[in-house]
Structure 1
């Protein structure tokens, strides 16, 4: 769909051109203006693809309008109309980048030909291949950031399908196999040197990664990304060498853990010697699936936060820490942050699938007032308070939702009761978001209906209607059609036709007066409009009623 602006200081010309072009097969959204200033005001609010403008207009002529619009929308194509075959005008317009120059006396065919030429030029500039090539070039420059963002999303706990993962690995040039297990290791700089300024920390992290690669890149493909609390995370898969078998389903490890701990000890020594930095590492005892990676990452991170993990230059594997139900539950609770994202995205299915999984994992805790239930309760409280405040939902929930239960854990007898309360509240929030969206849509459409009926003889351009409801023209057009099942222009046309029929049947107004009453100052244009809609001229329609 292309957006076209028709500009002339003679209304009959604007209306005639609009009707002619509207009957063409070109995918156009048409806008009208009756002087340069009005045209420029429209261009400031809407992207304009094609302008058909008179070159001689008072106040702001066509060449000046061209300069101003092209400054706003450099790809806009301009076609000039004039009643004078003046070479100086032609030369000036062509120098300014005009697509074509048409005399008003030449009729419709040259105008439609110039329009076709403009659309062809736009299509040539915006071909799929050119857009994709440009996007790929930009993506190439942004690849390091995009890779880290994607890998961080895998750690966050919402892994995509293997097929989607495979496609993303290929698109981003990541060195991993989507169906093969992955090994995780996490590093922590225990204490920064006093002589390292804040801006130098990134350089030292990069140096740590270089040392890590020196020891591991011969046997593994790997990727480093930032973790929580400024930690360094490495994800690894083997090449086709000695550790390939350790990553096969059901493999026993085949010396993998001893190798990892030995090499990490060497990394520690090198960082201490060459960078004067003390580092600690935790590493998984074996590879895990991509789907299990978020839980594995959380369990490895937890090793930094208790016991031996609180020391300096420690080196631990998670082998000595059984993956019991408590650790699995902790890993699931860590994913609560995703519920915030799913609420914001209005993704009901993902929200409740994760919520139910988390709720079930906490169910077996001995007391609501300690451990995981306490952590989960107040994590959920923070998420729900934020969204209820955003939706102004406290008053609505106050009637029957007992909002005090949202932040008073003692009001719940058990975790099961608390989880049921949160689930019910989430249902109400999703309903409120849906109702709010539907209500606002209905209000916008009703305001358009009312404005059209109150101003049927006035300016009912999409631009004017969008100003009235404080939305962009494009969004209003899409919203109105989705709700009402018809375009705004079709609705306005039907309202004008119905009013014109009533006036022709019930009043003694002359034909041109009926036309003015429904927004057409030009009697010939009103006649063409009415005949197109009813197959009869206004007079023929009036005469047909007398025969009944």
Structure 2
């Protein structure tokens, strides 16, 4: 059986009905069907036990095994089979019972072949839709499995960069992404830095190198710990590590008690002892020098970003400027700074602000901007942090202004102040200035958007008037003006307040009425002039829209002229 074929079984205790329907459906080329017949429920079950059927048309009132009993047996064997009940009974209780067991349709024998055809077409469409859904779900599952490693790393990267929404749902997301770590336990963190690359290394080469280093580390560590490596930026990888359960614990959670400090001490010692070997192997096999920083104590997931900033600082000053280092941090994280400055977190927020400013997302921008500037306001005694924030915002605004060609904001916003932080009297003034610039940019881009949307509507109207005798379907109009049909319909309704399909119908009607009143064109010529391929469709359209036939409309206006 072809993959596009569907098996149809017709069951009735009246042979004339079975034979007639089998013959009828077998001769139809419209439907991809293999058609079988059975004269009783028992005979039908013999067929159903040996082959799958997609659709069963069955009488309800049959002796020995009626249609409802057959339905239950069919669905127990083939749960996705669609059942159509064909019967002479017009009894609501039968309808209720049929639908209770997922019957697709209920057709009276007196309704004729057309009703049966509609029921079969509906069953075929339901079956196709199920197959499409299955294929999409299977494809999505395959893609998800391929994407899981990247999604795992993206979650941990965002967590380190200050995504507190991720932290609030950590256990749930760890389970969803099959992360081999415990969300409710602490974690050891190692920062690995590739000290130098070969001059001819491409982006692909660097990615491959990071993957190779991770494999080397796994070879040394995987017997005793769970580990996940995340690339935080070029040349720097962060390893998240938790000890595996001891043989004595007998469970995955047993070793992770908060009071079980010995396991953490052993794991930290084990990792530190292997870092030199990992370093040496990477040097010999991969020809790359690597430095490491490790904190000997585990930290909570909420402290991961703070520790990452500490590691970066260690590798960016003093001894950290050397190569092939093994630095161990023994100091605890300061509890006196509830909101420590984190460059990674700032970078993430700036990226989002840029996207929101470019994309016209005013509400999202305002909310994130307010949060960021409120946080920075805490650093009254650290002007360099404020400078970093200020001069990180400048290129974002400059790029957006250049992209949208906005160079004049009027006297209320002096654009010359943008690149001079010292021209502002206070941090509050800085905050207000950038917010004012953003509001002005959003206002200008909104005007530009509205102008473009009106231009799209004008193009649509022009196309419809120029091609009314041809294809003015939403899909074709979308292709002509460069937008997909759904977007086009949405924009058109937003600007005009009416559906595009209604406008097309009204335009067709208006032109047809004008031609009927003002010309001697034949009705079929008028039909073709407004895009109807068949005259009967034009008649139905005109009568529904105008309340009278085209000829009646023409005759009426001839009388009026007299």
- Aligned to 2:413, the other structure's residue is in SS state coil
CA gap of 1:171–1:432, structure 2 versus 1, over 3 A, is: farther
1:539 corresponds to which residue?
551
CA gap of 1:424–1:319, structure 2 versus 1, over 3 A, is: farther
- The structural deviation recorded for 1:536 is 1.7
Listed as ranges, the matches of 1:79-118 within 5 Å are: 116=121
Instruction: State whether residues 231 and 238 of structure 2, in contact with CA within 8 Å, keep that contact through their aligned partners in structure 1.
Output: yes
2:320 to 286, 297, 309: 309
1:386 corresponds to which residue?
399
1:489 corresponds to which residue?
501
1:294 corresponds to which residue?
305
In 1, Cα distance between the equivalents of 2:429 and 2:363?
Answer: 22
- The structural deviation recorded for 1:365 is 4.0
- The structural deviation recorded for 1:432 is 3.8
Is structure 2 residue 247 aligned with structure 1 residue 234?
no
Is structure 2 residue 147 aligned with structure 1 residue 133?
no
2:388 corresponds to which residue?
375
CA gap of 1:520–1:533, structure 2 versus 1, over 3 A, is: same
- Which structure: larger Rg? 2
Q: Which fold has the larger relative contact order, with Cα–Cα distance below 8 Å and residues 6 or more apart in sequence?
A: 1
1:415 corresponds to which residue?
427
- The structural deviation recorded for 1:223 is 0.3
**Paired positions, count:** 435
In 2, Cα distance between the equivalents of 1:194 and 1:343?
Answer: 37
1:403 corresponds to which residue?
415
- The structural deviation recorded for 1:514 is 5.2
Listed as ranges, the matches of 1:47-446 within 5 Å are: 116=121, 120=125, 123=128, 126-161=131-166, 165-166=170-171, 168-190=173-195, 205-206=210-211, 208-210=213-215, 212-213=217-218, 216-218=221-223, 220-240=225-245, 254=261, 259=266, 262-276=269-283, 279-284=290-295, 286-312=297-323, 313-317=325-329, 319=331, 322=334, 325=337, 328-331=340-343, 332-335=345-348, 336-344=350-358, 346-366=360-380, 370-395=383-408, 397=409, 400-446=412-458
CA gap of 1:389–1:201, structure 2 versus 1, over 3 A, is: closer
CA gap of 1:246–1:417, structure 2 versus 1, over 3 A, is: farther
Instruction: State whether residues 157 and 295 of structure 1, in contact with CA within 8 Å, keep that contact through their aligned partners in structure 2.
Output: no
Unaligned runs of at least 5 residues, structure 2: 1-112
- The structural deviation recorded for 1:226 is 1.7
Instruction: State whether residues 183 and 288 of structure 1, in contact with CA within 8 Å, keep that contact through their aligned partners in structure 2.
Output: yes
- The structural deviation recorded for 1:460 is 3.1
CA gap of 1:495–1:402, structure 2 versus 1, over 3 A, is: same
Instruction: State whether residues 305 and 342 of structure 2, in contact with CA within 8 Å, keep that contact through their aligned partners in structure 1.
Output: no
Unaligned runs of at least 5 residues, structure 1: 1-107
2:62 corresponds to which residue?
none
- The structural deviation recorded for 1:516 is 5.8
CA gap of 1:185–1:271, structure 2 versus 1, over 3 A, is: closer
- Aligned to 1:281, the other structure's residue is in SS state strand
Q: After superposition, what is the alpha-carbon deviation per residue over 1:281-312, rounded to whole angstroms, capped at 9, x for unaligned?
A: 32346555545533442333222112343344
Instruction: State whether residues 356 and 362 of structure 2, in contact with CA within 8 Å, keep that contact through their aligned partners in structure 1.
Output: yes
In 1, Cα distance between the equivalents of 2:202 and 2:472?
Answer: 62
Q: After superposition, what is the alpha-carbon deviation per residue over 1:375-430, rounded to whole angstroms, capped at 9, x for unaligned?
A: 111111112222222222334x3564322222222321222211221122223333
- The structural deviation recorded for 1:509 is 4.5
CA gap of 1:475–1:287, structure 2 versus 1, over 3 A, is: same
- Aligned to 1:413, the other structure's residue is in SS state coil
What TM-score do the two structures reach when normalised by structure 1?
0.64
What TM-score do the two structures reach when normalised by structure 2?
0.63
Q: After superposition, what is the alpha-carbon deviation per residue over 1:311-355, rounded to whole angstroms, capped at 9, x for unaligned?
A: 442413262563654981244534433322443455445433432
In 2, Cα distance between the equivalents of 1:195 and 1:264?
Answer: 32
Moved more, 237-246 or 124-133: 237-246
